[in-house]
């Protein structure tokens, strides 16, 4: 087969986890020897159908009108995406089924998309982690208050799915100022008014609403921009990374923590369970619940993104408060176990490199090119034709 030409359409300039993954996938494919172009649609149209196969990979869901145009330009249309609940929004399904194949990063995602009605082939293409920038010897984030304390670290966007309220409540209820602990949270909002002052006020009001009067253990809230170096230093500052998330497609901070030799306390459901286990982590019990139940509760303190998570069949995890408190206490009382789990996590992450991710994506591209395109399969399924469905990989 002639060498494939790939155009990557995605959020390459974003500083979020999605942007990081987009840039890393492109670099990984190039290291596999694949020609990958990025940029605006107008500058890329010339790559279209020619002597060698051309593939468009969308790292975001295109509109129906864009798909019509792109089908004329490229031999195959592929979607690389991620999701966080048991089902995707129903309105996405018809558009996704117009692609030739779907790439997802976790088993949880593969099940969610298939259960939602996605009919095209689904390929597992895991994320990776940069083991060179995330490593146990990285210089720790400079925080004098952390000296001689057991440090819990958490990194997340200030949204309901990340479950900041349960993390804070568990910490406040489990520890007091007599315990030699510290919680460090790095977070950010999603709109200009969701700044550090806004986040702090919501946390303070939440604590008052819980009726917590005792002198609680200290915690540090970081809401300003951090350089990559300082962010990596947060992972090595922590004795353990904790995030009782309600749902993750992957959970990049979990991967970065483990790569840094820092064990994880996490909810036992989501895409991150492809690589978290009791040897490298402390797993929190949970029950699957409708997202709207928690969003309508009295203690939802962060952005909800309600429109994405309001489908009647959608579920995500509601971690158990007592289980979370128990795991945090166990980590605090057994620092040697944390170090052992951290060493195991670092070792485990060696299998989750971006080079391995690039190799997985290259194989999935080759398999898609070897099969008929979605357009051809539709023609074959018409009267007088034959149809077949390629299985998942």
Q: For the segment 50-100, what is each residue's pLDDT rounded down to a tens digit?
A: 557 899 999 988 776 688 889 999 999 999 999 999 999 999 999 999 999
Sorting pLDDT into bands at 50, 70 and 90, what band is 255? very high
89-130 pLDDT tens trace: 999 999 999 999 999 999 999 999 999 999 999 999 999 999
Could you say which of 2.30.30.40, 3.20.10.10, 3.40.640.10, 3.40.50.2000 is the CATH number of the domain covering 5-128+353-375?
A: 3.40.50.2000
pLDDT of residue 21: 92
Are 5-128+353-375 and 144-350 equal in CATH topology? yes
Identify the weakest region by mean pLDDT among 14-28, 131-145, 178-192, 224-238.
Answer: 14-28
Find the range with the poorest average confidence among 227-236, 239-248, 311-320, 379-388: 379-388
Mean pLDDT, rounded, of the chain = 91
* Res 214 pLDDT > 90: no
pLDDT of 391: 59
Per-residue pLDDT at 323: 98
pLDDT of residue 24: 94
**The pLDDT value given to residue 302:** 96
pLDDT class of 154 with cuts at 50, 70, 90: very high
**Of all residues in the chain, what percent carry a pLDDT higher than 70?**
92
pLDDT at 239: 98
Residue 18 has pLDDT above 50, yes or no: yes
Please report, for the chain, the start and end positions of each structural domain, with discontinuous segments joined by +: 5-128+353-375, 144-350
Please state which of the four CATH numbers 3.40.50.2000, 3.10.20.30, 1.10.630.10, 3.50.50.60 is assigned to the domain occupying 144-350: 3.40.50.2000
Position 377 scores a pLDDT of: 55
Q: What pLDDT shows up at residue 62?
A: 74
Residue 15 confidence (pLDDT) above 90: no
pLDDT tens per residue across span 337-389: 999 999 999 999 999 999 999 999 999 999 999 999 875 555 444 444 433 34
Give pLDDT, residue 16.
84
Q: Is the pLDDT of residue 42 over 50?
A: no
CA quadruple 345, 350, 353, 359: dihedral sign: negative
Task: Give the pLDDT confidence score for residue 112 in this predicted structure.
Answer: 97
- What integer pLDDT is reported at residue 60 of this predicted model? 86
């Amino acid at each position: 087969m002639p060498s494939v030409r790939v155009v990557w359409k995605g959020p390459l300039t974003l500083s979020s986890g999605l942007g990081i993954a987009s840039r890393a996938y492109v670099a990984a494919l190039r290291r596999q020897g694949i020609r990958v172009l990025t940029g605006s649609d107008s500058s890329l149209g010339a790559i279209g159908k020619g002597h060698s196969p051309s593939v468009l990979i969308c790292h975001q869901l295109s509109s129906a009108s864009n798909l019509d145009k792109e089908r004329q330009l490229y031999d195959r249309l592929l979607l690389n995406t991620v999701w966080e609940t048991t089902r995707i929004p129903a309105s996405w399904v018809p558009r996704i089924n117009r692609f030739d194949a779907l790439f997802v990063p976790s088993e949880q995602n593969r099940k969610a998309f298939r259960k939602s009605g996605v009919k095209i082939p689904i390929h597992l293409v895991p994320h990776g982690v940069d083991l060179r920038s995330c490593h146990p010897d990285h210089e720790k984030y400079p925080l004098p208050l952390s000296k001689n304390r057991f440090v819990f670290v958490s990194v997340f966007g200030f949204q309901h799915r990340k479950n900041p309220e349960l993390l804070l409540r568990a910490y406040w209820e489990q520890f007091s100022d007599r315990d030699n602990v510290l919680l460090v949270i790095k977070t950010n909002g999603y709109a200009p008014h969701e700044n550090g002052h806004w986040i702090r006020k919501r946390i303070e009001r939440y604590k008052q609403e819980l009726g917590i009067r005792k002198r609680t253990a200290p915690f540090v809230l970081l809401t300003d921009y951090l350089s990559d170096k300082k962010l990596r230093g947060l992972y090595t500052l922590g004795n353990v990374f904790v995030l009782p998330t309600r749902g993750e497609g992957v959970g990049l901070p979990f991967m970065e923590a483990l790569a840094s030799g820092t064990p994880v306390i996490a909810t036992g459901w989501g895409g991150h369970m492809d690589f978290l286990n009791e040897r490298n982590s402390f797993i929190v019990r949970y029950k699957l619940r409708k997202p709207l139940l928690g969003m309508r509760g009295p203690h939802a303190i962060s952005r909800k993104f309600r429109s994405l998570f309001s489908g009647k069949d959608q579920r995500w995890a509601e971690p158990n408060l007592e289980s979370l408190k128990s795991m945090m206490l166990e980590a605090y009382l057994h620092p040697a176990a944390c170090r052992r789990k951290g060493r195991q996590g670092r070792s485990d992450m060696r299998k989750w490199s971006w080079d391995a991710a690039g190799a997985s994506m290259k194989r999935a591209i080759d398999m898609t090119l070897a099969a008929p395109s979605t357009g051809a399969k539709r023609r074959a399924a018409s009267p007088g034709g034959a149809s077949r469905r390629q299985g998942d990989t």
